[in-house]
Structure 1
Amino acid sequence: MRGRGRRVSADRASTEFSEFFERHHAGLSRLAFLLTGEPDAADDLAADAMVVLWQRWPEVSRTGSPLAYARGTVANLARERIRAAVRERRRIRLFWARGAEPSHGPDIACGVAVTAALKRLPFRKRACVVMRYAFDMPEREVAQVLGVSVGTVKSQTSRGVAELRRQLDATDAEQLVARSSR
């Protein structure tokens, strides 16, 4: 009799996770893209996060906020990927003694310019701006996902937007903020 109860529980957990995956994988992939700026890595990071969630699903599903846990996992994986990429670029530069990579000209589309500007932000500022504006997440939820205080989210978001404004044309930055607050 005990074996049957575990089987039913495992089947229910599998069904719950499958439903969660179907509902949230695309959004997690979008989050990964906006955090890393790498379209090829976005699906991989979202899938890696889902593997972590699946391995811990019984505990994660009981938290009451599995989506926040998933977003935090994506953010952590993205941070690790960015750090690894930065280390690799440094190694390549040292090896080849190349100069800086060429920058994009002013004729690049707004979306590309914003993505490039986001890449230049430090990770925490980028994460706060992306989660607040691209995902319309409340400050409290961003704080929970990143494991920081609400005040930190507010200051990092404000500073991140200010840096984006400095990097982009004033009109492009205003359009970004206006579009995201609709």
Structure 2
Amino acid sequence: MDRYEGFHEFVRTRQQSLMRTAYLLTGNAHLAEDLLQTVLTRVASHWAKLAKGGNPEAYARKALVNQTISWRKRKRIELPEAELPEFAASGQPHDEATVRRLALLHALARLTPKQRALIVLRFYEDRTEHETAQLMGVSVGTVKSQTHYALSKLRALVPQEVYR
């Protein structure tokens, strides 16, 4: 029996979803690709155990969060902080949904890695507080309090005129 049996199928079916999460965690397509490659290498090395009775997707998502936080601590990787374009001054037409999205991405980039991971897991991936706590290795109370702080920071960072 091949020790990687099923791994290629897992990657084929879950790669896009995992890549979206990696991008939301890093805010950078190139870093997201590196992050996902690093995590999939780790998943492959544990595949025999994960395929038997584990949950490969949960393991991969937890590894994405942990690796992002680890990179930021060790390598001091800076997430991009793009400037919001001045649509009104340029005279270019703009879609309000696009402006909101850019404002939110800009604000997400200014959160701490753990706060960003919480927001991504809770609201983008629609995880429960319990699931988020398990993926991040913290208590449910920590998820609740840190989500509150992260949302408060996002509200302070996103310009109010974007939502008028």
TM-score of Structure 1 vs Structure 2, range by shorter chain: 0.7 to 0.9
Residue 18 of structure 2 corresponds to 28
Query: What is the one-letter code of the residue matched to 2:136?
Result: L
Q: Which amino acid aligns with 1:119?
A: A
Seen in structure 2, the aligned counterparts of structure 1 residues 171 and 133 have a Cα distance that, compared at 3 Å, is farther
| Structure 1 runs not aligned, ≥5 long | 1-7, 90-100, 175-182
Report runs of 4+ in structure 1 exceeding 4 Å deviation.
105-108, 170-174
- Aligned-pair CA distance for 1:56: 1.0
The corresponding residue for 1:165 is: 155
Q: Aligned residues, how many?
A: 153
| Local SS of the residue matching 1:15 | coil
Counterpart in 1 of 2:40? 50
Instruction: Indicate the structure with greater helix content.
Output: 1
Find the aligned partners of 2:5 and 2:146 in 1 and give their Cα distance.
38
Q: Which amino acid aligns with 1:167?
A: L
TM-score by length of 2: 0.79
Of the two, which has the highest radius of gyration?
Answer: 1
Going from structure 1 to structure 2, the CA distance change for 1:87 and 1:59 (only over 3 Å counts) comes to same
The amino acid that maps onto 1:169 is: P
Tell me the C-alpha RMSD between the 2 structures.
2.7
Matched, 1:15 2:5: yes
Unpaired segments ≥5 residues, structure 2: 88-97
**1:70 matches 2:60:** yes
Instruction: Indicate the percent of aligned positions where both proteins have the same amino acid.
Output: 33
From 130, 138, 144, the equivalent of 2:128 is: 138
TM-score with structure 1 setting the length: 0.72
Contact 2:61 2:135 in 1 (8 A): yes
Residue 152 of structure 1: how far off its partner (Å): 1.1
Of 142, 145, 155 in structure 2, the residue corresponding to residue 155 of structure 1 is 145
Match of 2:103 in 1: 113
Cα distance per residue 1:71-125 (max 9 Å; x no partner): 1111122123333553689xxxxxxxxxxx8954564832222112111111111
